[in-house]
Amino acid sequence: MHTDAGTTALPETGPLGPWQRELDRELAAVQVRSRQEHAFDGALGTLRLGYLRLLSLEADPVYLSRPPRLVDRAPADAVAVALQQSGTAALTQDGRGAVLLPGHLAVIDLRRPFALEQKERFRQRLFRVPARALNVPAAHVRWTTGRAFAPGDGVVALLAPFLDRLADDAGRIPPAVGDRLAGNVTDLLAALVDACAEGGDDRTGVADDDHLPAAVRRYIDRNLSDPGLTPESIATAHRISVRYLHRLFEGEGVTVSKLIQRRRVEECGKELARRGRVAPTISAVALRWGFHSPAHFSRAFKAVYGCSPRDWRTAEPVPAAPHPSGDSPGAPGVRRARQVLGDMP
C-alpha cells in the first residue's frame, strides 16, 4: 500500500493539514508546527511491509511533538525508528535529549511523550513497529530513547543501512517477502534495545511502566538518609523526566517530595519510639534521616503524628489494659501509633 500526502493546503486546516492527518494515521497522534513564517513546503510518503510502516518525510523545518494529553487520549502501542538523512534534528524523550545528524538513528517510544524538532529543511525516514511484535520490556526500550546512535555503533552498523536500503526498495518487494523483512527489522531493533539495556550502568532504576511506582518507592526507601534525595535525582536514576515522575504519582494523592518527607518522618518516629530516652538527640536522629533544620523536622513530624518529636519520644508505652477510649488521657493517638511502630520489623 502506498499513499502520498502532498503540500496542498486545505482551507479549514491550513498548509500542515494533510501532513498532520497522515502522521496521525500512520505514526501516532502528534502535534505539528511550522518553524517558519512563509508557506510550508513538504512531502510525506508511506509504505507498508507486513506490520511495518515506513514514512518518508521531506519538508521545511517543523516541530513535531506528542504531549501527555495526546498519549492519554490516543494511545499508540508502537515504537518508531528515526533515520535522519539530511538536516539536523533535536529529539527529547524520557528526560534525555540528543541531536540527530545525517546518518544518525534514534528510537522513539510512541507510548510516551516526546518532541522532535527539525532545525532546517530535512529528509528523514520513520519505521513504525508494533510493541507486541518487538516483544521487549518497556523498561528496556526506555534505555534507548532520547539518544542518537551513530552509523558505526554496534547493532546500528547493521540496522541503519538495512533500513535505508529497505525504504529505497520497499515499493518493489512482494507481500510475502515484505512480511519476512518486517520480522528482520524487528529482530535487529530488539537486538539494539537489548544491547542498550545490558550496557546500562544502574539497573536498579529500571522498571516497566506498571511497576515503576513501586520501584520508585523502593529507591526512596533505600536512599532516605541521603540529603540529596530529590525528585530530580530520582528521575535521573530511573531514566525518566521529572514531569513524568510526578505523573506517576498523580493518582496516589501525594507528591514525590511529600512522600520522601513522610517516609523520613516515619523512620525517625520508629527510631525514637524504639529507643526512647536512650536514643541519640532528636536533632541527631533527624539529621541521620535527611533533615537539616530542626524547625522543619518538628513541623513535618507534627503534621504526620500530631505531636512534637519530644512528646513522641517521652510518651509511655501502651499499657496491657488500654484506656477505654483507646488512648491514655493527655496523649491521644501517640501511644497507639508508637505501639504500631514498635511492632514493625
pLDDT digit string, tens, across residues 269-302:
888 876 555 667 888 888 889 888 888 899 999 9
Does pLDDT of 4 surpass 70? no
Of the spans 5-9, 26-30, 236-240, 316-320, which averages the highest pLDDT? 26-30
The whole-number average pLDDT for the span 18-27 is: 89
The mean-pLDDT minimum among 154-158, 307-311, 314-318 falls in: 314-318
| Average pLDDT for the chain | 80
pLDDT digit string, tens, across residues 123-180:
999 999 999 898 888 888 988 999 999 987 688 999 999 999 999 998 899 988 998 8
pLDDT of residue 80: 97
The whole-number average pLDDT for the span 97-116 is: 94
The mean-pLDDT minimum among 6-20, 56-70, 105-119, 124-138 falls in: 6-20
Does pLDDT of 9 surpass 60? no
pLDDT of residue 102: 94
Q: Residue 312: phi, psi to the nearest 5?
A: -60, -45
Does pLDDT of 108 surpass 80? yes
pLDDT digit string, tens, across residues 181-227:
999 999 999 999 888 876 653 333 333 444 677 788 888 988 888 88
3-state secondary structure the chain: CEEEECCCCECCCECCHHHHHHHHHHCCCCEEEECCCCCCCEEEEEEEECCEEEEEEEECCEEEEECHHHHHHCCCCEEEEEEEEECCEEEEECCEEEEECCCCEEEEECCCCEEEEECCCEEEEEEEEEHHHHCCCHHHHHCCECCCECCCCCCHHHHHHHHHHHHHHHHHCCHHHHHHHHHHHHHHHHHHHHHHHHCCCCHHHCCCCCCHHHHHHHHHHHCCCCCCCCHHHHHHHCCCCHHHHHHHCHHHCCCHHHHHHHHHHHHHHHHHHHHHHHCCCHHHHHHHCCCCCHHHHHHHHHHHHCCCHHHHHHCCCCCCCCCCCCCCCCCCCHHHHHHHHHHCC
Of the spans 205-209, 265-269, 329-333, which averages the highest pLDDT? 265-269
Domains of the chain: 2-200 (2.60.120.10), 205-343 (1.10.10.60)
Does pLDDT of 228 surpass 80? yes
> From CA 220, how far away is CA 121, in angstroms rounded?
45
- Model confidence at 326, pLDDT cuts 50, 70, 90, reads very low
Q: Which long-range contacts (CB under 8 A, 24 or more apart) does 233-239 make?
A: 235/95, 236/95, 237/202, 237/204, 237/205, 238/205, 238/206, 238/207, 238/212, 239/94, 239/95, 239/96, 239/142, 239/143, 239/205, 239/206
pLDDT of residue 260: 92
The letter for the amino acid at 18 is P
pLDDT of residue 278: 60
Does pLDDT of 75 surpass 90? yes
pTM: 0.57
- Among residues 70, 143, 144, which one has the least CA distance to residue 112? 70
The owner of cell 524504639 is: 274
Edge-to-edge order in the sheet of strand 114-118: 31-34, 62-66, 114-118, 89-93, 96-100
